[in-house]
Structure 1
């Protein structure tokens, strides 16, 4: 196992006073924290901590080793600062949905690769959650408001949406004037986010859940866009998809006093420590892009 990481784990356990606190602080599972501590004790050839039901305390050998690990981490931190000035290289593997690749990742990726010509990026298009370790994925980008609390993630921005339909559809079926009237319309929805309910933020800031029904449910926003451009119904679309058609008049924004509940855009990765430099830089670039776009 990585001795630098083991030293970081041991130091955090000593600082925070428990394995559980170190687990939360470092974004590692409790079993992994225990494994690193066991490895440290194997390397040292002695017990480093006294364990009781109430607290942990250092053994004499643990006290001596703690000063050594602190010195080691200071040295490692100095090395990482030098690393920041080195060339970004290697391969970065990314998983994301088609919309995310097209509207969020691709607009900045070409410039990012020009800035770091020694870097190679592999993008896997998937609407499904992936096992980062098994599939050797460095970064998964997901849009959701139901993030698993056990995964390690960084919020990069928000995905805002707009309720819209074509003028032709509205001329034939009428325009809803309140969320409750949506039940009278053919509401085409994104299957990953809607279970017969659309959520809106009302003018007073309250969340309004509105039942809907429709004859099309898909997990790809571009299909919903095509459907409403062909006058098939009403849909909640990402603003990044809908904006050109709203500007041209091909689509009409509806219920503008009611904002569809935004979704979080998250970068999901395996560990908060020892991240590849390319990953850290890309996460920063994605955050800056989304802030600028907003």
Structure 2
């Protein structure tokens, strides 16, 4: 391909990128405002220009060829660079302005981010925020989100990851429940209690604990109510149904108000959903000031002291 020949297939590269990301000509066409047949023709033109097959097409799925995977990575870099170029003007603006779209899991968005975003909006009157609340992994490039908050032990490759705070699970119950039932001084004591667990996986009722100077413990617990939503487990604990495992940030207000009490606070509860909250964004060379100030604001507000 000649030095400037790629210019005529730039739209085809974008179409190929979206088709590969979404795994569907129809979905990519909807996103790009064209027909599926037009999207298919553009990918075929790109394959003809490059001289290799990029996608293996079957009746059920699309799969990248080896050459297609390499082309996909290059096209993604191209789109990221183009997005950065579109934001160059903003780099030289006197102050941050514009809309920032940020996504986060439901409970974390409501309990942790929301109060700090309110303060951010007061501090930066020229920046608007759209908080996208979703309990699924959001792809910022594909879904047009500037910043993504994800709770994980390992941030995904290909995105810049900035740590916000540790996310730990704790055990808690109402003082009234604890007063009515046998004392809990060791993890083994949980066997005689109603325990509110997640139930997403087979071993979610196998609660593991660690404590300096003591043997690790694992207890198979039982309870009358199981839910994979942390706020539901919190409300069940507040209703006196038993001992719940919940993220510490979910229980903070109830603990401070005395409506809940920590259980086995001297033991580390080793749940399957621990790690850190990270704020993620595409690795553009330039980060728009409106995004950078929000990242900095949240990191400062949630800094682990």
1:268 aligns with 2:276: no
1:257–1:87: structure 2 CA closer, same or farther, 3 Å change rule? same
1:121-270 mapped onto 2 (5 Å cutoff): 121-145=129-153, 147-149=155-157, 151-190=159-198, 195-204=204-213, 209-261=218-270, 263-270=275-282
1:38–1:272: structure 2 CA closer, same or farther, 3 Å change rule? closer
Which residue of the partner structure matches residue 72 of structure 1?
none
Conservation of the 8 A alpha-carbon contact between 2:109 and 2:133? yes
Could you tell me which of 277, 288, 294 is aligned with 2:300?
A: 288
- Normalised by the size of structure 2, how large is the TM-score? 0.62
What is the RMSD of the two structures over their aligned residues, measured on CA atoms? 3.6
Structure 2 gap ranges (5+): 1-5, 7-68, 80-84
Shift of 1:99: 1.9
Could you tell me which of 253, 275, 289 is aligned with 1:277?
A: 289
- Where 1:130 maps in the other structure, the secondary structure is coil
1:90 aligns with 2:98: yes
CA deviations 1:2-31 (Å, max 9, x no partner) are xxxxxxxxxxxxxxxxxxxxxxxxxxx965
CA deviations 1:183-221 (Å, max 9, x no partner) are 432221245697233343412498655433334333432
CA deviations 1:137-183 (Å, max 9, x no partner) are 11111223354456542222212343111122223332322123324
How many residues of Structure 1 are paired with residues of Structure 2 in the alignment? 229
Q: Distance in 2 between matches of 1:255 and 1:153?
A: 33
- Where 2:222 maps in the other structure, the secondary structure is coil
- Normalised by the size of structure 1, how large is the TM-score? 0.64
CA deviations 1:105-156 (Å, max 9, x no partner) are 1121122122222222111111111232232111111223354456542222
Q: Distance in 1 between matches of 2:77 and 2:154?
A: 33
CA deviations 1:68-121 (Å, max 9, x no partner) are xxxxxxxx9xx98x9376221222111112221222211211221222222221
Shift of 1:35: 5.2
- Where 2:141 maps in the other structure, the secondary structure is coil
Which residue of the partner structure matches residue 54 of structure 1?
none
1:210–1:154: structure 2 CA closer, same or farther, 3 Å change rule? farther
- Where 2:179 maps in the other structure, the secondary structure is helix
Q: Distance in 2 between matches of 1:38 and 1:212?
A: 52
Q: Distance in 2 between matches of 1:110 and 1:83?
A: 24
1:183–1:278: structure 2 CA closer, same or farther, 3 Å change rule? farther
Q: Distance in 1 between matches of 2:195 and 2:119?
A: 38
- Where 2:185 maps in the other structure, the secondary structure is coil
